[in-house]
A and B are shown apart, each in its own frame.
Chain A
Amino acid sequence: MNTCNSIKPIIEFCNLWKSFDHDRIQVLRGASLSLEAKETVALVGASGCGKSTLLHLIAGLDEPDQGVVYIEGKALNKCRELTYRLRHQIGFVFQLHNLIPNLTLRENCLIPAVAAGTNRKQAKARLERLAEATGIADRLHHRIQDLSGGERQRTALCRALMNGPQIILADEPTGSLDDVSRVRVFELLLKLMREEGITMIMATHDLDLGRRCDRVIRVQRGTLFDETSDHQPSL
């Protein structure tokens, strides 16, 4: 499954290194991965193994010490490109919903549209469709503090999908939810990814949920192992 030099994948990186605290904490040691469009991938591993770091590197929020991340064959060069990537190509879902208090669900969901300067009519139509799909249509005018954890996470998902990204990076999106909500939110996430044809990388501790993705990648000792292909490094 080496893809570094084959057809253009949507996400690709080879030999990615990242350390913190002046190289004292080595998190990624030559991680490589290639994903085709519309694939869903579960990133599993122990806490602190580098799952979130990897998601940040893919999004361009952080810079690797070595190696380059390519999205649709393009590396990130400038701040302007990062903004474009976060605005149009990538949506983020976090473990905590990270919604802005004092704003309604509707306003929270529209934040990416405000950032991108999307036409109001288009943004409204998109929001209505996504709110229907995520099951929050009847709560759009409520404030965050009036919602359950599951509803907040569905709102966060709605926000991540607002600008129609090609990739969703989900950092333990069900980590703070109870068992019932966890399964519901995950199923919704997976369903939407498949319906919208979005590539997803989801960091999770829950191997049972992870196995329902197309691929399961284990992060171990700073390297990636594809568990769906007999524990071989993913490169």
Chain B
Amino acid sequence: MTLLRLILTNTQRHCIRTLIGVAGIAFGVAAMMTVVTLLQGAVNMFQRILKDDSEIIVFERHVSDLFFSNVAISDIEIMGTWPMVEQVLPSLFGLVSSEDRPVIACFGVTADSPRLKGAEWIEGNLSDFGQSRDIVLGSRAAEFLGVKLGDSAPLGHDSFPVGGIIRTENGFEDGGVFMPLAQAQEFFHKNGVASIASVSLFDDDLREAFIAKVKEGFPDLTALETEEFGNSYSQFRIIEATAWAVGGSAFLLGGLSVANTMIMSVFGRIREIAILRVNGFSPTQIASLIFGESSVITFFGVALGIGVGFGTMLVLQRVPLFQGYVDTQLHGSVLGVVVALAFVTGIGGALYPALYAMRIHPAEALRFE
């Protein structure tokens, strides 16, 4: 007979009540895991688009979104002449729509874009890109637009001949449209500008020097290392904060369910707790009992929640609409935070019941019950 045995016995006594507590925590864990992983996956996917290109990104200072950024092609050309720079590639980001798809990512790029070079060409050739008005579609975009090589793809108020179809691992790219840069500039009424310039340097040690030179030469532009960009870009931060807030709210519900379970559990055995006290249990041991019970509930809730979370992500991954957008790679740090939050929630939920149980006056409990 140990304290653990007593804890397990108590949790088994009212199975439904315990299961409700377990379900509450499981819901919180599964919700946070899924939401955070999916949104972080989306952010990572977008970050990878930028990372694949370069080490440094140059964009317009003080813009809330890269879609609104304007970097003059003439400025990009000047940067390309700097001795430390190996390559500068302009990219124009825009959104187009078709009949059934209100939002399709559009990339205005040059033929030497690593996005096109690194992709698997299902139809068409990279060498033809930029030679005409032809656009290249990601395989998913071709699928949902219902077009193949040589067809005309209706986008916005215009339609474009399809000159190639590529497959990439990135959901944004695979569901997107690639236009020659000049054509994209014309389509989005952004002549002479790009959204960003992706810069590769001859030597990594020159990064700081490049950033300083941009700051000095182009006060309207900002140069950031891609890692730094990911950490500072407000849209990413908003998405991540939203994910954690949604997950946190789910945990709050989980915590309330544990609190409710534990309160019911304590209120239902006031006399029993008084008897334990009379048999030598200290108030601290009584509290340990309550916290122990909530920890057991949390443990099973976490286990169930992780299972449900993984299951949900696997299901989402197989839903055609989400294919390519769902990154089910759960990071250890996210799992760690989720598990830690679950236990904090579980323990937090048991705080009041434990305090109540500690303060049960044995004589009164024995007298009135």
Q: Do A and B bind each other?
A: yes
Q: B13 touching A86 by the CB < 8 A rule?
A: no
Give the residues from 255 to 288 in chain B that come closer than 8 angstroms, CB to CB, to chain A. 271-272, 275-283, 285
* 0/1 interface trace, chain A 95-124, chain B, CB 8 Å (1 if under): 000101111001100111111100000000
* 0/1 interface trace, chain A 154-196, chain B, CB 8 Å (1 if under): 0000010001000000000000000000000000000000000
Given that A114-B1, A114-B3 are contacting pairs, would A83 and B280 also be in contact in the complex, using a CB cutoff of 8 Å?
A: yes
> Which one of A3-11, A54-62, A206-214 is at the interface?
A54-62
B6 at the binding interface (Cβ < 8 Å):
yes
Q: Chain B's interface: helix, strand, loop or mixed, by majority?
A: helix
B5 at the binding interface (Cβ < 8 Å):
yes
Q: State A110–B1 Cα separation when bound (angstroms).
A: 7
A87 at the binding interface (Cβ < 8 Å):
yes
B41 at the binding interface (Cβ < 8 Å):
no
Q: A112 touching B279 by the CB < 8 A rule?
A: yes
Q: B366 touching A61 by the CB < 8 A rule?
A: yes
Residue of B nearest to A63 (CB): B363
A94 at the binding interface (Cβ < 8 Å):
yes
B12 at the binding interface (Cβ < 8 Å):
yes
Q: B363 touching A61 by the CB < 8 A rule?
A: yes
Q: B280 touching A115 by the CB < 8 A rule?
A: yes
Q: B280 touching A116 by the CB < 8 A rule?
A: yes
**Residues of A with C-beta under 8 A to B271:** 98
Given that A52-B367, A106-B1 are contacting pairs, would A111 and B9 also be in contact in the complex, using a CB cutoff of 8 Å?
A: no
Q: B279 touching A92 by the CB < 8 A rule?
A: yes
Given that A61-B362, A94-B366 are contacting pairs, would A115 and B1 also be in contact in the complex, using a CB cutoff of 8 Å?
A: no
Given that A52-B367, A103-B9 are contacting pairs, would A61 and B278 also be in contact in the complex, using a CB cutoff of 8 Å?
A: yes
**Residues of A with C-beta under 8 A to B283:** 79, 83
**Residues of B with C-beta under 8 A to A92:** 278-279
Greatest chain B CB density within 10 A among A87, A98, A114, A159 is at A114
Quick one: which of B6, B275, B281 contacts A98, CB cutoff 8 A?
A: B275
Q: B272 touching A86 by the CB < 8 A rule?
A: no
Given that A102-B12, A107-B1 are contacting pairs, would A114 and B366 also be in contact in the complex, using a CB cutoff of 8 Å?
A: no
Q: State A86–B281 Cα separation when bound (angstroms).
A: 8
Q: B280 touching A163 by the CB < 8 A rule?
A: yes
Give the residues from 336 to 357 in chain B that come closer than 8 angstroms, CB to CB, to chain A. none
Residue of B nearest to A169 (CB): B278
**Residues of B with C-beta under 8 A to A101:** 13
**Residues of B with C-beta under 8 A to A114:** 1-3, 6
**Residues of B with C-beta under 8 A to A107:** 1, 5-6, 9
* 0/1 interface trace, chain B 165-208, chain A, CB 8 Å (1 if under): 00000000000000000000000000000000000000000000
Q: A112 touching B280 by the CB < 8 A rule?
A: yes
Give the residues from 64 to 94 in chain A that come closer than 8 angstroms, CB to CB, to chain B. 79-80, 83, 86-88, 92, 94
**Residues of A with C-beta under 8 A to B12:** 102
Q: A115 touching B285 by the CB < 8 A rule?
A: yes
Q: Min CB distance, A124 to chain B, in Å?
A: 10
Which 9 residue pairs spanning A and B have beta carbons closest together?
A87-B280, A115-B280, A62-B363, A110-B1, A61-B363, A56-B363, A83-B282, A107-B1, A61-B362
20 further A-B pairs in the complex, CB-CB below 8 A; given A111-B281, A114-B3: A61-B361, A61-B362, A61-B363, A62-B364, A79-B282, A94-B366, A98-B271, A98-B272, A102-B12, A106-B1, A107-B5, A107-B9, A110-B1, A111-B6, A111-B276, A114-B1, A115-B276, A115-B285, A159-B279, A163-B280
Interface positions of A (Cβ within 8 A of B): 52-53, 56, 59, 61-62, 79-80, 83, 86-88, 92, 94, 98, 100-103, 106-107, 110-116, 159, 163
